[in-house]
Amino acid sequence: MGPTASGKTAATLALARDLPIEVVSVDSALVYRDMDIGTAKPDAAERAACPHHLIDVVSPEESYSAARFHDDALRLIAAIQARGHIPLLVGGTMLYFKALVEGLSDLPQADAALRREIEARAHHEGWPALHAELAALDADAAARLNPNDAQRIQRALEVVRLTGRPLAESYARRAAARPPLRLLPLALQPASRASLHARIETRFDAMLAAGFADEVRGLRARYTLTPDLASMRCVGYRQMWDFLDGRSDFAQMRERGIAATRQLAKRQITWLRQFSANWPGYREFDSLEPAHVGQVLTAVRRWVLA
């Protein structure tokens, strides 16, 4: 685990040279096909180093949920182990890690028709109006959400309307116990926040130089997309969408994209602090320390032999 730009791919490739691993991606952006540059998707050479799973599994027009990840990951873990290989879960979507380790609440599956209705209304009325509607149905849930938090407002409204009960009640109904997994929770955590921010800026500039704008233009031409879709709400993509629509200039888009990525990293680091307190065996490594890859490899070797 680790925040964006913390060096997870490099550590993964080092493990692949030494151990029979297969990667299960834990990244809510890498699931989308044709979204390669802006997601920093592993390139062909990196993916050839060892098998990678849960990359390019849905269209940008589709949704992919923590519930679907939970089921897909458990299926893949069992299949990888049956082949005598080690499943290595790699990514920064902490909600997916939480869903896998703690199981899922008794929440209904996504309803495509209702989701389209909510998205269409949000497009015309704005997310604050939908937030007000949620407040009328479930005041506690609305109080925990920012009026512009599109993804969470959409899901909360969907659950409340499908179940007819407050969101907290649905979350309290545990549908699945913690799966019987033997886990080694490892995290890459750069000791210097300033260095992480510099990495983020450098990587975003590299994406721009690699043709990120053309990638999003191509996505808009190839698929039926709106800025409210989960794929286009990914960090970087929403800022590029606004730029292509003329709502910002290039310099503003770049600044906002870097700022949004830094905010994402901050949220991921907050999640990791929670994991460190609740996961037995949790270990962190400073990814700015030159020896960190060797330290990770040693930890995994010991775990495999235990």
For tokens 């009328």, name the residue.
136
DSSP 8-class letter at 103 = -
Residue 171, amino acid: Y
Q: What are phi and psi of 111, to 5 degrees?
A: -105, 110
CA 260 to chain centre: 14
Please list, in sequence order, all residues whose beta carbon lies within 8 angstroms of the beta carbon of residue 52, skipping any fewer than 6 positions away. Answer: 22, 23, 25, 42
* Separation CA 287–CA 92 (nearest Å): 14
The pLDDT of residue 174 is: 53
Q: Coil, strand or helix: which one is 62?
A: coil
- Whether residue 188 contacts residue 1, with contact meaning beta carbons closer than 8 Å, is answered with yes
The string of pLDDT tens digits covering residues 83-139 is 999 999 999 999 999 889 887 766 677 788 898 899 999 999 999 999 999 999 999
- Tell me the whole-structure pTM to 2 decimals: 0.81
pLDDT at 173: 58
To which residue do tokens 């409204």 refer?
157
Q: In which residue ranges of the chain is pLDDT below 50?
A: 175-176
Kindly report the number of other CB atoms within 10 A of residue 215's CB atom. 19
Among 156, 236, 245, 164, smallest CA distance to 201 is for 236
Name the nearest CA neighbour of 176 among 83, 243, 242, 100.
100
Instruction: State the pLDDT at residue 175.
Output: 47
Query: Within 10 A of 306 (CB to CB), how many other CB atoms are there?
Result: 7
Q: What pLDDT score does 172 carry? A: 60
Task: Tell me whether residue 242 is exposed, middle or buried, using C-beta atoms within 10 angstroms of its C-beta: 0 to 12, 13 to 18, 19 or more.
Answer: middle
The DSSP call for residue 171 is H
In a 10 Å sphere around its CB, with 0-12 CB exposed, 13-18 middle and 19+ buried, how is residue 12 labelled?
A: buried
Q: What are the residue ranges of helices labelled H in the chain?
A: 8-18, 44-48, 66-82, 94-102, 112-125, 127-137, 139-143, 150-163, 167-172, 193-209, 212-222, 237-244, 250-278, 292-305
Q: What is the pLDDT of residue 299?
A: 94
